[in-house]
């Protein structure tokens, strides 16, 4: 089985860490904001399916989404992170359902693992360390195993 991972940058908005409020674009990315990413994903899906490949779209959280559990309950930052995650996952689930491809949200597995052990290189960066990558691999393996058993569409 050959695999290929391609990053697609989703609309994330801006965050001002110097005590300034979050911009509304983080919470309210509209269809126009999403369109470049969805167009790119559509082209990748078409090319992959044209080559007989199967596609899994996986969502990796941004920094605030990844550490939402550690943000103060009811804080603007936590509420914004949870809402942005929910909106992003909802949009991608709708898109992957429409395109008939599999979807995986790494966030719940990373949240669970991060409670016991850091899943990122540093606590100010959202790039996964070796343990974070291991968590992600273990999350996607059941989907890949199912895809291998499933007849091509």
Which tens digit of pLDDT belongs to each residue from 96-125? 999 999 999 999 999 999 989 999 998 788
| Residue-wise burial string across 84-108, b where 16 or more C-beta atoms lie within 10 A, e elsewhere | bbebbbebbeebbeebebbbbbbbe
Question: Residue 4: what are its φ and ψ, rounded to 5°?
Answer: -145, 130
Is the model more confident about 12 or about 115?
115
Distances in Å between the alpha carbon of 108 and those of 54, 90, 91, 140, 147? Answer: 23, 14, 17, 12, 21
State residue 19's pLDDT score.
45
Rounded average pLDDT over 74-100: 91
State residue 110's pLDDT score.
95
pTM > 0.85: yes or no: no
């Amino acid at each position: 089985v050959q695999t290929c991972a391609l990053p697609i940058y989703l609309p994330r908005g801006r965050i001002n860490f110097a005590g300034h409020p979050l911009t509304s674009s983080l919470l309210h990315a509209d269809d126009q904001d999403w369109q470049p990413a969805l167009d790119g994903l559509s082209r990748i899906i078409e090319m992959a399916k044209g080559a007989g490949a199967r596609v899994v779209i996986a969502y990796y959280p941004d920094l605030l989404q990844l550490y939402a559990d550690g943000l103060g309950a009811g804080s603007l930052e936590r509420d914004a992170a949870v809402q942005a995650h929910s909106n992003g996952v909802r949009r991608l689930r709708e898109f992957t359902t429409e395109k008939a491809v599999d979807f995986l949200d790494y966030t719940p597995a990373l949240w669970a693992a991060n409670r016991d052990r850091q899943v990122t290189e540093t606590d100010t960066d959202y790039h996964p360390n070796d343990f974070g990558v291991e968590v992600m691999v273990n999350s996607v393996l059941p989907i890949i195993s199912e895809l291998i058993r499933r007849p091509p569409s």
